[in-house]
Each structure stands twice: as C-alpha cells, then as structure tokens.
Chain A
Amino acid sequence: MALLEMRGIRKRFGGVEALKGVDFAVEAGEIHALVGENGAGKSTLMKILSGALAPDGGEVWLSGRRLRLGSVQEARRQGIVMVYQELNLAPNLSVAENLSLGRLPLFVDRKRLYTRARILLEELDLGFTPEVPVGVLEVGQQTLVAVAQALSQEARILVFDEATAALSAREAERLFQLVKELRNRGLGIVWISHRLEEVFHLADRVTVLRDGQRVATLPLSGLKPEALVELMVGKREAGRLDLPSPKAHPPLHLEVRGGGLEPLAFDLRPGEILGLAGVVGSGRSAVVEILFGLEGEGRVNGEPLRSPLEAIRRGVFLVPADRKAQGLILGLSARANISLPVLRELSFGGVVSASREAALARQWFQALGIRPQDPERPAGTFSGGNQQKLVLAKALATRPRLLLLAEPTRGVDVAARQEIYALLATWAREGVAQIVSSGDTEELLLLCHRIFVFRKGRVVAEFHPPYCSEEVVAHVVGTAQA
C-alpha cells in the first residue's frame, strides 16, 4: 500500500472545476514529481493535502488511515509538511528555535533545544550553527532550514512547491542532495516544478495533471523529456473511440492477490474500460485470470471469486485470449456455445427450453451481426472474427457487470476489429465495466479510459487517455522489459 493515497479528489471554484476526481499516490522512499501546465490543478491538489483547502469530494489516506480534510493542524499532526517558495520561517529567531517552531514548549530548555538542533544539523551536514538568526542566512540556506524543520517535526510526506525558484545552482544542488537523503530515510516526497530537467534529475516517478485530471503516472527512468512535455501539452490522439464517461456510482471494488503479483486493489466504475499493458510475463494476464477465479485470490466488492462458476454468478465473465482452445467448443453449434454459461437459466427442472435457447442465439446473432446467420452451424465453421463475436455473445448473454477481455482482437481482421471496438464502447455505455488485457498499445489507447502498465507483477505506470501518445505509452511498456 502506498504511504499516501488521494482518491477521487474534486474541487470546484465557482463555475470552474479545478480538480475532476484526481487520484494521486506516493510511496514511502519515493520522490514523486507533480507536473502540469499552469492551472492544471497541482497547487489546488497540494493545498487540499495540506489542509488549506477543503475538497468537494474525495478521500486522503496516510499509511492506511483516513485523514480528516480541511484542517492544517490535522495535516501537520499527521506529518504532512509543505516547503513553499515563501518559507514558513521566523527571520529573527535562531535556527534552533525555528526548527522547533510551533512546537516550542511553554518553558524552553535552551540547552536541550540547541543540542538537538546541533545533532540534526550535523546529521544533515548543513554547515551552519544553531545559534544564527535565520534572517541572516541566504535564501538557499533558509530553504535547507525549512527542510530540517520539517524533519525535526517528524514529517512523513514532504511537499516541495517550486522550491528552487529563488536558489542559485549550487544551492539547488545542495537541496537535491538533502532531498535524496530524506527519500532514503523513507519519507514520501512530492516535488512540484516547472523545470523538467530538475524533475528528471531528481524524481523517481511523475504524475502529469492536465485540466484538473490525471493524464498519467509513470516512472521517469529512460523517459525522454519530449515525451513528458507531450503528456503535459500534446494533442489529443486521433482515431479514438467516442467513449461514454463512466457512471459515477456505485463502483466495483476489485482486489487481486496471488498469481505472482503484488497485491492490487482498485475501483472500476460502471461503463469504465481499464486497459492492462505490459510485456508477456509482466503480470497483466494474471490479473484477469485471478478476477475470473482461475488462480490466486480475487474479490469483487469483497465477495470472493474462487472459480469461474462463482465469478459468473457474481457478474464477472472472461473472454479468453485463445478462442479456439478456451473460448469455444468448436464441435458444438454456435447456439449451444452461446447458451452454455446461462443454460441453467434457460432450463426448467434440468430440461433446456429449446425455444428460449434458440431465441437467445438469434438475439445475439442479430445484436453482434454474426455471419453467416445460422446458429445451428458448428462454431468451428465460422471465420476468426465471427468466432470472436460468438465468444463475445456468450459473454454478454450472461449480462455481466464486469467483462474481462484478454487479447480481444488477436487474429481478427481490421473490419471485425473495428466492429468489436464499437461493440465494447456500446456495452460500456450500457454500464458494463471492462478490463482489457492486451499487447497492442494502440488498441488500449483507442479503447480505454485508464491504462495500467505492468512490470514484474506490479503496476508501474498509469495513463489516462486521450492525451497520451502511443509513443509514450509504448515506451513505458517497452522499458518494462529492462
């Protein structure tokens, strides 16, 4: 679990929606950059974190505890500390006094105060004595004092907002060293900056905000600066499906454990399409298998998914990657394939109602435009694209809440592929949540509201199309190999 988790944060100023349901998470021992153009929502998000602003919606969790929002004192008490451009220091008090500012006891034991300050300053190798009044220090040194102050107050999350704006290059370098030292001590650090070279130099991961929404969260190693700029200001990808916005509530809460994965929990809203990207063996295919009860331990809204049968009962259905080996019984008629998962509902006392079964097959042949229009033909005699539609028909006939799709267009021609995309969008509009695991990045960008990129069994990056170019996503998926 992440050290800090902000979920679905919303904030409106008059008619302007500054934050439209932003998720943001920081791990312990991580420098996490927060970037975006002016007005993207960075500062608003951080003000909510610091308690200076109360959000209109959303939650903030720190080490698994939910925070009371809108209170600066509460945020401070929980160890969330801001280091702003305008520093929070008292110029005519000494460094030592500033380090304990706001926490000074009624009767100050000066000796202890100065001893503790000296130890801390030496530990951080800051090179000035605790007796100096802060006002005589240079700006860069004052920033370092502010950091030391945060540390002496047992900060767990440290937010730097344009902290180097007023610093010289040498002072900035000194600050970077200090920040890295703090990261190594296990603090979570949020670094807001317009200077991208700084972000690349310092941060481990970056989250890009744009128009009050999160565009992406991804690791910085190997990323080109142009790619990051593109995420911040680039054009909308062309050719994207006209996807409905997911319905707000109630979401499905999904939990995934086992299968060689780092435990994963996330919410999926009705009609939302989540893409899983990653190279083969990255763990993305295990996710859908776990959620269909094939391995590991999956849960939907807290209910266990221990077998396909149980998953189907809870409204989950998997369209497997290999339609011939896993999706269809090729020797049986198309009709018998479509009805197989719902045979019980079509039966009275164990006897299948032939008329209801035939009607079901006709209905789905029509809805999906399956050719040739003869449900009595063995499934194996249909073309690849139509076989895939048969598998979809079978899945949709169960009226799932959550549709899992593994490589939904593998070995399918271009025309049928477009049809399948349109169908999935239609079903999203009907409120069916979908998870698409695919090796085809272009497909995911076309189809998904959100994309998780997997590497070695964990999510390393998250993208929110449409403002992500294929190159950027493909790059992150690709570096997942290394």
Chain B
Amino acid sequence: MLWARLRPEFLARYGLVWALGILVLVLSLLSPYFLTPSNLLNILRQVSINAILALGMTVVILKGGIDLSVGSLLALAGAMAAGLAIAGLSPVLAMGLGIGVAIALGVLQGLLVAYAGLPPFIVTLAGLTAFRGLTLVYTDGRPITGLPEPFLFLGNGTVLGMPVPVMAMLLFLLLTHFLLRYTAWGRYLYAIGGNEEAARLSGVPVAPIKVFAYAYSGLAAGLAALVLTGRLNSAQPTAGTGFELDAIAAAVVGGTSLAGGRGTAWGTFLGALIIGVLNNGMNLLNVSAFYQLIAKGVVIVLALLVDRLVRRR
C-alpha cells in the first residue's frame, strides 16, 4: 500500500529530498542555466556559510535553545582574525584566534544560560548587539582589507576541484552528523531538548551540555567567518547582519523543531540547500529581490505546515 509507506518517519526522512528534487526539476525546466555543473557548484558555494551557521544553530535548537548572536559573532571573529593577521601575526594563528574568540563568547553565553538560568533568547539577543558593537569598536567601523594568502585560499581556493568553502561545509556537516548521531553528548542534546526534567533525573549533565551547545554554535560562527572573510577578501564590520535568521530558517525548513529535541544535521543541510536553490533559481529567473523575500517567507511557513500535518497523522 502506498499510503502505508507514507508513515511520518518515512516522510520526515525523505520528504525534504523529495521537495529538493521537485524544486530542482521545476527550475531545470524553467531555466537552461540551472542544471549546469558550474551553477550547481555555485549554489553549494553560496549556501556554505548559511549551512555552517545553520548546523551550529541546529545543535543549540536541539537542546531547546536559540542563538541569535551568530551573525555578530561571525563579524567579530572575521575582524579579529583579519586584524591580527594584518598586524603581523601568523595568518594561521590569527585564524585560530578568531575561531577561539567565537567559541569563548559562545561559552560565555552558554554559562549565562546554563548556570545563571537566563533565557537563551535574551542572552543571545544581548550577544547580537554587544558583539556587533565590539566589532565596530575593534574595526573603528571600517573594513579590514589586504589579507594574506591563506585567507584567500579559504574563500576562493579549491581542493581536488572542490571549492574550499564547500569542503569546509561538508566537513562540518559530517562532524555535526557524527556528533548528533553517534556520540553520548549528541544524545544528551536530544534528551535535554525533548524533556529537560527527565534528562536531569536520568543523570544527564544538563548544564555542561548546554554550554557545549553554545560553544559549538560559536565554532560554527568562527568557521563561517573565515570562509566569508576569504570570499570577500576583507573583514566587513557589518558582515553577517541577519544571518542568524537565515540559519534558523534553514534549520526549521530542515525539520528541526524549535521546541527542541527533534532535528538532524542532514535535515538542516537539506533545508539550507532548498533555500539556496530557491534563491539561485529566482535569481536565474530574474525574480525581483523583493519578491524573493516573500517567497522565502512562504517556504518557511509551508515547511512548518507540512511538518505539522505529517506529525499529527
């Protein structure tokens, strides 16, 4: 029976693939340029930053939180790395420090959530504002340009014919997938997001895992920062504005429940791809940027509606 196969798990697992497939089919019929290798690679490159941020975001949302600070954190990490490199620090060390700062600030937010008991929304909203301010102070509001070679490689280089940003995204996807699917800490994230009280009564170290989630999101922001800085060949003080919302959108379209406890790395990746393909297709079809925003909003709501219908059974 066909209907019998349309069980929620089946749909949830493959529904996104179907949706992406249909989208690709329609767009390839509408535009001759869509289904070309260079365009497809271009899409992957375009989605890489959002996908990386969305994977970090997924980890936080899974445990029942949210991280609004990633866009600002990205700008700060990029500026720090670029600034330190310009100042004469070894580029690799500068990059490491940029990521380190992002992780450290993620930990700070995690501590405020896990140990001070503040709501994640408020803590990371404060982070969004404060980290942007820090970036502007650090850069004095001006872009940092003239970056050394390793930055450019991260943004525009290729390895075995694959763009480095795409490579970075895929590696981070595998890392996140491994974390969520195979490790005890991954399981704890699901447990805390699913029922924090029950998790605590089962001996799950709730607070440390929460801190870890924000640190992981910080890592994602730092990684995305290096890719973006390399791509632009400069660190912009306003970089990443609004990226947190795109990341949340990708996670939600990918089946991550904002209530926590449900979602996968692959789902989020597919969510980011769907949004990316949609953007790319609309660009190819010369849809006005204004309408593109509307389309994106509709897709997010549709994804949630479909998800709700499937779960309700």
Q: How far is the CB of B195 from chain A (nearest CB, A)?
A: 4
Q: How far is the CB of A231 from chain B (nearest CB, A)?
A: 38
Does B286 reach chain A (CB closer than 8 Å)? no
Q: Chain A residue with minimal CB distance to B205?
A: A309
Q: Which residues of B contact A394 (CB under 8 A)?
A: 202
Q: Which residues of A contact B231 (CB under 8 A)?
A: none
Taking a contact as CB atoms under 8 Å apart, the answer to whether B204 and A340 are in contact is yes
Taking a contact as CB atoms under 8 Å apart, the answer to whether B261 and A331 are in contact is yes
Does B116 reach chain A (CB closer than 8 Å)? no
Q: How far is the CB of A375 from chain B (nearest CB, A)?
A: 15
Q: Mark B173-202, 1 if CB is under 8 A from A, else 0.
A: 000000000111101101100110111111
Taking a contact as CB atoms under 8 Å apart, the answer to whether B185 and A331 are in contact is no
Q: Mark A299-339, 1 if CB is under 8 A from B, else 0.
A: 00000000011011100001010000111111110001000
Taking a contact as CB atoms under 8 Å apart, the answer to whether A350 and B199 are in contact is no
Taking a contact as CB atoms under 8 Å apart, the answer to whether B199 and A329 are in contact is yes
How far, in whole Å, are A398 and B191 apart by their CA atoms in the complex? 17
How far, in whole Å, are A329 and B262 apart by their CA atoms in the complex? 11
Does A341 reach chain B (CB closer than 8 Å)? yes
Does A343 reach chain B (CB closer than 8 Å)? yes
- Chain A interface, DSSP helix/strand/loop, else mixed: mixed
Q: Which residues of B contact A350 (CB under 8 A)?
A: 183-185
Does B203 reach chain A (CB closer than 8 Å)? yes
Q: Which residues of B contact A352 (CB under 8 A)?
A: 182-184, 187
* Range, interface on chain A: 20 to 34
Taking a contact as CB atoms under 8 Å apart, the answer to whether B187 and A343 are in contact is yes
Q: How far is the CB of B312 from chain A (nearest CB, A)?
A: 14
How far, in whole Å, are A340 and B200 apart by their CA atoms in the complex? 10
Taking a contact as CB atoms under 8 Å apart, the answer to whether B182 and A351 are in contact is yes
Q: How far is the CB of B7 from chain A (nearest CB, A)?
A: 12
Does A366 reach chain B (CB closer than 8 Å)? no
Does A347 reach chain B (CB closer than 8 Å)? yes
Q: Which residues of A contact B203 (CB under 8 A)?
A: 308-309, 311-313, 340-341, 398
Q: Which residues of A contact B190 (CB under 8 A)?
A: 329, 331-332, 336
Q: How far is the CB of A343 from chain B (nearest CB, A)?
A: 5
How far, in whole Å, are A311 and B183 apart by their CA atoms in the complex? 23
Taking a contact as CB atoms under 8 Å apart, the answer to whether B201 and A325 are in contact is no
Q: Chain A residue with minimal CB distance to B185?
A: A350
Q: How far is the CB of A333 from chain B (nearest CB, A)?
A: 10
How far, in whole Å, are A318 and B198 apart by their CA atoms in the complex? 11
Taking a contact as CB atoms under 8 Å apart, the answer to whether A340 and B191 are in contact is yes
Q: Chain A residue with minimal CB distance to B200?
A: A308
Q: Which of B191, B195, B201, B202 has the most CB of A within 10 A?
A: B202
Does A344 reach chain B (CB closer than 8 Å)? yes
* Range, interface on chain B: 20 to 34
How far, in whole Å, are A22 and B112 apart by their CA atoms in the complex? 54
With A330-B195, A343-B184 as known contacts, state yes or no: A308 contacts B201, CB within 8 Å.
yes
Taking a contact as CB atoms under 8 Å apart, the answer to whether A329 and B261 are in contact is yes
Taking a contact as CB atoms under 8 Å apart, the answer to whether B197 and A340 are in contact is no
Q: How far is the CB of A298 from chain B (nearest CB, A)?
A: 15
Q: Which residues of A contact B195 (CB under 8 A)?
A: 325-326, 328-330
How far, in whole Å, are A311 and B200 apart by their CA atoms in the complex? 12
Taking a contact as CB atoms under 8 Å apart, the answer to whether B198 and A329 are in contact is yes
Q: Which residues of B contact A343 (CB under 8 A)?
A: 184, 187-188
> Which chain B residues in 9-52 approach chain A with CB under 8 Å?
none
Taking a contact as CB atoms under 8 Å apart, the answer to whether A341 and B183 are in contact is no
Taking a contact as CB atoms under 8 Å apart, the answer to whether A329 and B191 are in contact is yes
How far, in whole Å, are A343 and B204 apart by their CA atoms in the complex? 9
Q: How far is the CB of B10 from chain A (nearest CB, A)?
A: 14
Taking a contact as CB atoms under 8 Å apart, the answer to whether B201 and A351 are in contact is no
Q: Which residues of B contact A326 (CB under 8 A)?
A: 195, 197-198, 201
Q: How far is the CB of B221 from chain A (nearest CB, A)?
A: 23
Q: How far is the CB of B205 from chain A (nearest CB, A)?
A: 6
With A308-B202, A351-B182 as known contacts, state yes or no: A330 contacts B187, CB within 8 Å.
no
How far, in whole Å, are A274 and B90 apart by their CA atoms in the complex? 67
Q: How far is the CB of B171 from chain A (nearest CB, A)?
A: 18
Q: Which residues of B contact A312 (CB under 8 A)?
A: 203
Q: How far is the CB of A376 from chain B (nearest CB, A)?
A: 10
Q: Which residues of B contact A347 (CB under 8 A)?
A: 183-184
Taking a contact as CB atoms under 8 Å apart, the answer to whether A331 and B194 are in contact is yes
How far, in whole Å, are A78 and B187 apart by their CA atoms in the complex? 61
> Which chain B residues in 201-218 approach chain A with CB under 8 Å?
201-205
How far, in whole Å, are A309 and B185 apart by their CA atoms in the complex? 15
How far, in whole Å, are A287 and B181 apart by their CA atoms in the complex? 38
Q: Which residues of B contact A336 (CB under 8 A)?
A: 187, 190-191
Q: Mark A378-397, 1 if CB is under 8 A from B, else 0.
A: 00000000000000001000
Contact partner of A318 (CB less than 8 A), chosen from B184, B201, B205, B261, is: B201
Q: Which of B188, B190, B197, B201 has the most CB of A within 10 A?
A: B201
Taking a contact as CB atoms under 8 Å apart, the answer to whether B204 and A332 are in contact is no
How far, in whole Å, are A341 and B202 apart by their CA atoms in the complex? 5
How far, in whole Å, are A346 and B183 apart by their CA atoms in the complex? 10
Q: Which residues of B contact A328 (CB under 8 A)?
A: 195, 198
> Which chain B residues in 102-152 approach chain A with CB under 8 Å?
none
Q: Which residues of B contact A398 (CB under 8 A)?
A: 203
Q: Chain B residue with minimal CB distance to A322?
A: B197
Contact partner of A340 (CB less than 8 A), chosen from B199, B261, B262, is: B199
> Which chain B residues in 221-245 approach chain A with CB under 8 Å?
none
- Using CB atoms and an 8 Å cutoff, list the residues of chain A in contact with chain B: 292, 308-309, 311-313, 318, 320, 325-332, 336, 340-341, 343-344, 346-347, 350-352, 354, 394, 398
Besides A341-B202, A343-B184, A352-B182, 20 other CB < 8 A contacts?
A308-B200, A309-B204, A320-B201, A328-B195, A328-B198, A329-B190, A329-B191, A330-B194, A331-B262, A332-B190, A332-B191, A332-B194, A340-B187, A340-B202, A341-B203, A351-B182, A351-B184, A352-B187, A354-B182, A394-B202
- Using CB atoms and an 8 Å cutoff, list the residues of chain B in contact with chain A: 182-185, 187-188, 190-191, 194-195, 197-205, 261-262
List of 10 A-B pairs having minimum Cβ-Cβ separation, nearest first: A329-B194, A312-B203, A340-B202, A329-B195, A343-B184, A341-B202, A309-B203, A331-B194, A347-B184, A341-B203
- Please name 16 pairs of A and B residues whose Cβ atoms are closer than 8 Å in the assembled complex, sorted by A: A292-B201, A308-B201, A309-B203, A309-B205, A318-B201, A325-B198, A326-B195, A327-B198, A328-B195, A328-B198, A329-B199, A331-B262, A340-B187, A340-B191, A350-B185, A351-B183
